[in-house]
Structure 1
């Protein structure tokens, strides 16, 4: 498990999956059909329980101001702060690893109970799964 610090808020735009987990792939496909994903564009999965069900958002960071906003996507801020996380190499070989990693991360007593589960995709094969921890 790694401790990382996000020094400044990350502004992203997202598409919300119709359901979780079934609608996640469709949401990723829709996002990829709208925008280009050059190597420098950071992309994320953002989720947490809301009103009794898991809400999942596929998100991307703008490279040039306005390049995502023009698609009428909703803005979201990934807050700065301290996070704990685990990287998964070649996650596509076993997608269930993402759930297993978050189950492990969420057992930490220091997590921010109002935070989100954040997946930061590193290329097409690797993902860094993280959760925000409480500020002291």
Structure 2
């Protein structure tokens, strides 16, 4: 595990999956269809539990420029600036089930932000799993 910092908020264009985890692929396919050159985008999975404890998952694309309008039907979400605890997985498509286990491990860290989300940052065959750290707790040494 290592720390990654975002110096500024990251604006995301997102579609909510109909269900978790079953609806994830369909949400990403619908998202890809909204961009003229989907291969030129950075994609993100963004999830957190709702008040009932059900995981709400959004397939999202990072905005390409600051003034870019959101595609029709997309919500605008913000990945907040700050420090994140991360773990990276190569060839993720061959081991999708490993992603959940990586998040379970990351979520054990006592410094995570309880109001944060689980974030999957996709770059080709690599996915980086991220959880936001609570700035008040990050002064503690790593366990």
Quickly name the TM-score band, shorter chain normalised.
over 0.9
Correspondent of 1:66 among 56, 60, 68: 68
3-state SS of 1:15 partner: strand
- Per-residue deviation at 1:62? 1.9
Q: Corresponding residue for 2:139?
A: none
Give 1:86 deviation, angstroms. 0.5
Q: Hey, what's the Cα distance between the residues in 2 that align with 1:23 and 1:38?
A: 21
Paired position in structure 2 for 1:90: 91
Partner of 1:114: 115
Counterpart position of 2:82: 81
Answer yes or no: is 1:20 the counterpart of 2:20: yes
3-state SS in 1 of match to 2:39: coil
Distance 1:97 1:132 in 2: 20
Q: Distance in 2 between matches of 1:38 and 1:48?
A: 26
CA-to-aligned-CA distance 1:70-121 (integer Å, 9 cap, x gap): 4231101100011100010001101101001000000000000000001100
Deviations 1:6-54 (A, max 9, x none): 1100011100000000100110111111212234x22100001112200
Structure 1 unaligned segments of length 5 or more: list them.
Answer: none
Distance in 1 of aligned mates of 2:111 and 2:64 = 33
Q: How many corresponding residue pairs?
A: 133
Counterparts of 1:86 and 1:70, CA distance in 2: 30
d(CA) in 2 for partners of 1:31, 1:49: 21
State the partner residue of 1:32: 32
| 1: CA distance, partners of 2:68 / 2:79 | 18
Of 28-37 and 79-88, deviating more is 28-37
